[in-house]
Amino acid sequence: MEFQQTGQKNWNCFFCTWIIWNHYLGIWRLDFEMDYQMVNWSFYVIVGVVCKFFIKYMDDKFQYRLSKGQKSEIAQNLIDILQKDASITKEAKVFIGNWILTDCTEKRKAFFDVWDIVLRNYLPATRPVLFRACGRINKVQTIASFTGRLECARRFSEGKGSLIICDTKEMLQFEEEFYKPGDYKHTFYPLVTVLQKAKEGGGWGFSESLLNRYVGEDEYIMRINLGRMSCLKWVKND
């Protein structure tokens, strides 16, 4: 699976160098008897250490950025895959792979910007009951992953926290009547259907192990809207 990572290593190194240079320049100006060679030597040592730290930090921190045009193109391709049986683009494939293989701490703004476009423009053909396990309920209407399998939600939660349940048939009952494409409020995107199509179509560049594992998770993308969903607490049976 291909990843798309970008960083700002050069900018960070420049910023650190500028701060340290100004710090040492101030010391040198205040102490005219200080050995300039010693200042010069220590300056480069510290700059090297700090820059190495920031480069390592940026290497370890997953980066994913998209231009406005790329976000729109990926979102449209995701919609066309399901509505027009279109071929997946390289950018959409990278997007899906990165989304699947990153955890919640690595989900960048670019992901949610793309899903926002998709959810405002896509009206699904199916109406499953969806579940989401979470440790803490957030009242903000964030975009998140749901599953169509209660067992998956139970496994993710480990029997702790809350369970959000959404009857999409009820929630989308009047969506098409009161909203138009571009303004949809309560829709969802069946990511599992894309993975199933990929599996049936030779993989589309995804590995067999990835498809076998994540098709089983039955993932859907949806906005959390507690006003139209039910929220329960897991209870342990002793």
- pLDDT tens profile 115-141: 999 999 999 999 999 999 988 777 677
The rounded Cα 67 to chain-centroid distance in angstroms is 15
Question: Does residue 100 register a pLDDT over 50?
Answer: yes
For the chain, give the percent of residues with pLDDT over 70.
Answer: 72
For the chain, give the percent of residues with pLDDT over 90.
Answer: 59
Torsion angle (degrees, nearest 10) of CA 13, 14, 17, 22: -150
Q: Rg of the Cα trace of the chain?
A: 24
**Greatest C-alpha distance within the chain:** 81
- pLDDT tens profile 16-72: 444 444 544 443 343 434 444 544 555 555 555 554 544 444 445 668 899 999 999
Q: Is 12 exposed, middle or buried (0-12, 13-18, 19+ CB in 10 A)?
A: middle
Q: How far is CA 120 from CA 67, 124, 161, 181, in A?
A: 19, 11, 29, 6
